[in-house]
Amino acid sequence: MSESRSDAASPRAYQIIARCRELALYSEVAGETTRTFLAPSTHSVHALLSGWMKAAGMQVRVDAAGNLRGVLAGEWPNAPRILIGSHLDTVAQAGAFDGILGVVLGVALVEELTARSHTATTFDPKLPFTIEVIGFSDEEGVRFGKPFLGSLALIGELDAATLLLTDRNGVSVADAIRDFGLDPAELPAAIVDKSACAYLEFHIEQGPVLESEGLSLGVVDTIAGQTRMQFIFTGQANHAGTTPMGAQRRDALAAAAQWIVAVEQYATECAGLVATVGKVETLGGASNVIAGNVVATLDVRHALDKVRRSAIAHFINAAQTAATARGMTVTHSTSLDQTAVDLDSDLTALLADAATRAGHAAHWMISGAGHDAMIVARRVPSAMLFLRTAAGLSHHPDENVLPVDVEAALATGLEFLQILRDDKAMLKRFIALTSQLKQEDNHA
C-alpha cells in the first residue's frame, strides 16, 4: 500500500513511519526483519532511538533486562510518572511496525511537547508529571519460548527460573543479558519507579476489524486470555504398504488430524473463541511410513477465562477420544496460561475521550493478541490504543500502516496528556490506584 501524501497527515507522521522502516533494517538475518531478545542488532536499534530521545531532551539508559528507557523530567522532583511503551523485538521475518511503532510514537510525543515549548500555541507544554518512554527488550518470546521478558523485569517478576531458560544454542537468559554487556544482578534497578501512575501503549491492531469499519483507531478495554499447549499423539510406526487399513493401523497423524478438525469446529461455534493448531510435526516421518509420533501445538484465546478454560477441557477430551479410537495414547503440556486482563476503566475512558477530542471515533475493542500492557497492568493502571493495520496483515514483511492513522494516534496521545495535565483529580486517582496495586502485590 503506497504512503501518498494525499491525506491530512503531517510531516511528523511520515517521519514516524520512516523511522520504523529504518529500525526494521537492523536484523539477525540479512534481507529480513528478525530481531529476538538482545540480539546484537538491538545495539543499533538502541543507538538510533537513544539519539532521538536525547535530542528531545530525555535522559536515556538501558536497564539490566535490555529495556531502553528515555525520561523527560516533570516540573518538580518525584513528579508522577506517565509510562509510554511497547516492544523492540520481533518475530521471524517480521514487518516494520509491530511493537516498534509504539516506541517511536512515544518519542514523537515527547518531541512534539518540547517543540511546542518554543512556540506560541494553545497547548501548554508544561506537564505536572514525568514521561518515560520504554522500548521493551522482549515481548514475542521467540528466543526463549517465554514472552514478556522486558515487561516482566519492569514489574519485578523476571524470576530466577526464567533466567535459567535456554535458547536452542544452550544460552540462558542470564547469559544473554551478560553477552549484551549487562548484569543480571542489576535487575532490581529495572523495576518501575514508585512514581509511575499510568501506562499507555500504542500498537497496530494486527487484525482486520478497524479496516473493515473504516476507522483509524481502536480503544482496547480487554486483552484476551491465552493458553499455549503441546499435544503428543503416540501410535505405532509401520510400513505404509503392508499394513492394512482399519484397526491394524495406529496412525498418530490420522488421530491428530481428527482432533484438529474437532478443534476448528468447536472454536467456530463458540462466540469470541479462537483456537489454532499452528504447528504439526511428524517425528521420524516418511512418505512410506505410518506416523508413529506426532507433536502438535494449540493456541486458545478468549476474553473470558471461564470460556477459554472450558474450551481447553473440551480439546483435551477430543484429543483423548481421537487417540483411544485408534488404540494409542496422547499426552499434553501447557507452556503458557495467561488470564484475560481488563485494562483500567478510567484510564481507558480518558483515552477514548482524547480520541474524540482529536476528532476520531472511540471504537472499543478486545485485543486477541497479548501485549506488554497486560503485564504492566499488574502494577500500573494501563490503557492501549490500536491503529488500523493495512489489510489486517501483521507478523509479515508486508505489514503496513497509513500516515493518516499515525497522525490520528499522535493527536490522540497529545490530547491524552493534555487531559491528564488539566484533570488533577484524575491524576491523583491513578497515583492512589498504583499504590493500591503495589500494596496488594506485597501481600500476595
Distance of CA 435 to the CA centre of its chain: 25
Q: In which element (H, E) is residue 420 found?
A: helix 403-422
Instruction: Supply 369's cell numbers.
Output: 493478541
User: DSSP strand E in 158-216: where?
Assistant: 196-204
What average pLDDT does range 89-107 have in this prediction?
97
pLDDT in tens, 134-147: 999 999 999 998 99
Q: What is the pLDDT of residues 280-295, one digit of tens each?
A: 999 988 999 999 999 9
> Average pLDDT in the 178-205 region?
96
DSSP characters for 2-32?
A: ---TTSS--HHHHHHHHHHHHHTT--SSTTS
Mean pLDDT of 140-159: 95
Which three cell numbers, joined as nine digits, stand for 108? 514523537
Is 225-338 in CATH node 3.30.70.360? yes
pLDDT of 6 > 50? The answer is no
403 or 440, higher pLDDT: 403
Q: What is the pLDDT of residues 391-409, one digit of tens each?
A: 999 999 999 999 999 999 9
The rounded distance, in Å, linking the Cα atoms of 49 and 46 is 5
Query: 200 pLDDT exceeds 80?
Result: yes
pLDDT confidence band for 128 (50 / 70 / 90): confident
CA distance from start to end of the chain: 49
| pLDDT value for 123 | 47
Please give the pLDDT value at position 13: 96
435 residue type, one letter: S
What's the rounded Cα separation, in Å, for the pair 327 and 407?
A: 60
What torsion do the CA atoms of 241, 245, 247, 253 make, to the nearest 10 degrees?
80
Q: What is the mean pLDDT of residues 9-22?
A: 95
pLDDT of residue 74: 87
Is residue 71 scored above 90 in pLDDT?
yes
Mean pLDDT over each residue of the chain, to the nearest integer? 92
Give the span between the Cα atoms of 417 and 423, in whole angstroms: 10
- Looking at residue 5, its pLDDT comes to 39
DSSP result, 115-171? HHTTS--SS----SSEEEEEEES-SS-TTTS---HHHHHHTT---HHHHT-B-TTS-
The tens digit of pLDDT for each residue in 315-336 reads: 999 999 999 999 999 999 998 8
The reported pTM is 0.87
pLDDT band of 444, cuts 50, 70, 90 = low
One of 1.10.620.20, 3.50.50.60, 3.40.630.10, 2.60.40.2550 is the CATH number of 11-224+340-442, namely 3.40.630.10
Does residue 122 surpass a pLDDT of 60? Answer: no
CATH 3.40.630.10 domain residues, the chain: 11-224+340-442
What does the pLDDT look like over 330-358, one tens digit per residue? 999 998 898 999 999 999 999 999 999 99
Q: What is the pLDDT of residue 290?
A: 94
Instruction: Read off the pLDDT of each residue in 244-253 and give the average, rounded to a whole number.
Output: 94
- Is residue 7 scored above 90 in pLDDT? no
What pLDDT does 426 receive? 75
Instruction: Please report the pLDDT score of residue 55 as a whole number.
Output: 96
What pLDDT is stored for residue 358 in this prediction?
A: 96
How large is the average pLDDT for residues 91-115? 96
* Of residues 133, 131, 136, the one with CA closest to residue 65: 136
**Lowest-confidence region among 25-29, 79-83, 348-352:** 79-83
Instruction: Determine how β-strand 130-136 pairs with β-strand 217-223.
Output: unpaired
Amino acid at 421: R
